[in-house]
Structure 1
Amino acid sequence: MLETFHNSKPLTLGVELELQLVNTHNFDLAPYAEDMLQLVQREALPGSVVPEMTSSMIEVATGVCTDAQDALTQLATIRDALVRAADKLNITVVGGGTHPFQMWHQQRIYDKPRFRELTALYGYLTKQFTIFGQHVHIGCPDADAALLMLHRLSRYIPHCIALSASSPYVQGQDTAFDSARLNSVFAFPLSGRAPFVLTWDDFEAYFNKMTATGVVKGMKDFYWDIRPKPEFGTVEIRVFDTPLTVERAAALAGFVQGLGAWFLDTQPFMPQEDDYLVYTFNRFQACRFGLEAMYVDPQTSEHMPLREHLLATLRTIAPYMVRAQAEAFHEQLRQSANAGQNDARWLRETQAECALLSEVVRRAAGRFRRPVGG
Structure 2
Amino acid sequence: MALALVAATLSGCGGGTDEKKGKRGPSGPPQVGFVVVQPTNVPTTTELPGRTAAFETSEVRPQVAGLIRKRLFTEGSYVRAGQTLYQIDPRVYSAAVNEARGNLASAQANAEATRIQAERYRPLAEIEAVSKQEYTNAVASARQARAAVQQTRAALETARINLNFTNVPAPISGRIGRSLFTVGALVTTSQTDPLAVIQRTDPMFVDIQQSASELLTLRRALASGGVLPATAQVRLKLEDGSDYAQTGTIQFAEVTVNQSTGTVTLRARFPNPQNVLLPGMFVRAVFVQSIYKGAFLVPQQAVTRDPQGNATLFVVGPNNKAVQREVTAESTQGAFWVVTKGLNPGDKVVTQGTANLKPNAQIRPVPANSPQRVQAPQKGNGKAGSQGGGGGQDKQGTSQSGSR
Normalising by structure 2, we get a TM-score of 0.21
Structure number having the greater strand percentage = 2
Structure number having the greater helix percentage = 1
Q: Which has the higher contact order (CA 8 A, sep 6+)?
A: 2
